[in-house]
Amino acid sequence: MRKYAFLLTYPHLKNSIQIERKNLGKKGDYATAIMFGVISLLGIFSIFWDWKSSLAPVVCVIITYFLNRKIIILEHLKWFFVGLILVGLLLSWGIQLSLWMFILQFLALTCILGVISSVKKLGRDRRDVIFSLNADNFSCLCPGSNDYKGYALNPMGYKKYFMTKDIDSIQQDRNGLLIVVKGEVLRPRELSASEVAQILAYFNANHVELIAAIPAQHIYREEGELAWVKILVFGIPCALGGLSIYFLGDNGRNIAVSAISILLAILLVPLLLKFVNIWKRGSLNK
């Protein structure tokens, strides 16, 4: 593929570009729904383990559901947890209920509300602007090299805004589009080849000078490392979870062991990401 770069020598660009994508964040909604679903299943299984001690957490979850319809609990999360601990202490003193078991069951069962919310999100269609550009400013999805976990769960949370006059150059390479803003190299995500061509044509139509592309071998190296990290961080938990379900969970017939295997695989992902980030920081400091 030929490489191109535009150096912006003046800000008088005509018209504007706006590129949208339908239901971009739904893959994150699916992941969130699955995570909440697995944790809520553990809470449901705990009810059958000891239904008498589970009555209090179930009642508290029901109260939380109706309370959340009156006020936004997330805006008062600190006081909500203080109240939850006080209720747990009263129950542990009054009916000899384990405080930690009460809190764990409550949190697990509360994930049912998360499942309901995620399902509602999945049922709604939406269109998100993934790239926009005019004479004053532009925006794009550009997560950092260590932001792949968050980006996978919430792509639109990594939409960033910049001033158009701060763009040093725009170039096309073998992997798409690179934008240099005040010396910082950005890689806009989710753009197709035709959309990249549309953006380049926009600058070409405004008579911006076309020059040779800036070499970006270090960018390719970082993107290659990122691809391997994704394979390891997400592949290892999937492989271990699958083996655990097959051998320990009797190929999925043992529902409790299978659910625990899936939960542990999900929890292993952030631990591996943390390890990789520590390793990368250590490599940079050498």
Domains of the chain (ranges; CATH) run: 4-23+126-214 (2.30.29), 29-122 (no CATH), 218-285 (no CATH)
Q: Give mean pLDDT, residues 102-111.
A: 85
Q: Identify the pLDDT of residue 126.
A: 79
CA dihedral sign, ordered 155, 156, 161, 166: positive
Q: Which residues of 25-43 are buried (b: 16+ CB within 10 A; e: fewer)?
A: bbebbeebbebbbbbbbbb
47, 54 Cβ separation under 8 angstroms: yes
The average pLDDT across 171-198 equals: 83
Rg (CA), the chain: 25
Q: What is the mean pLDDT of the chain?
A: 76
Given a cut of 90, is residue 279 above it in pLDDT?
A: no
C-alpha 45/C-alpha 51 separation (Å) is 10
* Dihedral (Cα; 37, 39, 43, 49), 10-degree rounding: 110
Find the length of the chain: 286
* Closest C-alpha to 34, from 227, 243, 238: 238
CB-CB contact of 24 with 192 (8 Å): no
Measured distance CA(270)–CA(283) in Å, rounded? 20
Q: Structure tokens of 79? A: 């006081």
Asked if 198 and 205 count as a contact pair (C-beta separation under 8 A), the reply is: no
CB count in 10 Å sphere of residue 5 = 20
Residue whose token pair is 């920081």: 281
Question: pLDDT above 90 covers what percent of the chain?
Answer: 3
Mean pLDDT for 83-105 is: 79
| Statement: residue 206 has pLDDT above 70 | no
The most confident of the ranges 7-16, 66-75, 152-161 is 152-161
Query: In the chain, pLDDT over 70 holds for what percent of residues?
Result: 79
Between CA 15 and CA 134 the distance in angstroms is 7
Average pLDDT, integer, range 156-173: 84
| Residue 161 banded pLDDT, cuts 50, 70, 90 | very high
Q: How far apart are CA 228 and CA 235, in angstroms?
A: 10
